[in-house]
Copies of this chain bind each other. A is one copy, B any other.
Amino acid sequence: MSKKLTSRAEDYSKWYNELVVKADLAENSAVRGCMVIKPYGYAIWEKMQAELDKMFKETGHQNAYFPLFVPKSLFEAEEKNAEGFAKECAIVTHYRLQADPDKPGKLRVDPEAKLEEELIVRPTSEAIIWNTYRNWIQSYRDLPILINQWANVVRWEMRTRLFLRTAEFLWQEGHTAHQNKAEAMAEARLMNNVYATFAENFMAIPVVQGVKTESERFAGADETFCIEALMQDGKALQAGTSHFLGQNFAKAFDVKFANKEGKQDYVWATSWGVSTRLMGALIMTHSDDNGLVLPPSLAPNQVVIVPIYKSDEEFDAVSEVAKSIQTDLRAKGITVKFDDRDTQRPGAKFAQHELQGVPLRIAIGPKDLQNGTVELARRDTLTKEVVALDDLTNTVENLLKEIQDTLFKKALDFRDSHITEVNSFEEFKDVLEKKTGFISAHWDGTNETEEKIKELTKATIRCIPLKMKEEAGVCVYSGQSSKGRVLFAKAY
Contact = CB atoms under 8 A, between A and B. Distances in A.
Contact of A42 (B62, B71, B75, B97): B62
Contacts of A262: none
A401 interface: no
A46 B54 CA distance: 13
Given A69-B168, A96-B87, A119-B90, A46 B63 contact: yes
Interface string A22-57: 000001011100111111001100100000000000
Interface string A60-80: 001111111111101110010
Interface in A149-168: 151-152, 154, 156, 168
A168 B151 CA distance: 13
Chain copies in the assembled complex? 2
A120 B97 contact: yes
Contact of A65 (B67, B69, B89, B170): B170
Interface in A91-120: 91-98, 105-107, 109, 118-120
Nearest to A53: B46
A128 B43 contact: no
Contacts of A409: none
A14 interface: no
Contacts of A69: 31, 34, 90, 168
A147 interface: yes
Contacts of A70: 31
Given A86-B97, A86-B107, A95-B88, A74 B42 contact: no
A65 B36 contact: yes
Contacts of A367: none
A128 B74 CA distance: 31
A370 to B, nearest CB: 34
Given A89-B97, A91-B97, A93-B91, A67 B36 contact: yes
A131 interface: yes
A323 B42 CA distance: 39
Nearest to A38: B64
Contact of A96 (B67, B68, B89, B105): B89
A105 B128 contact: no
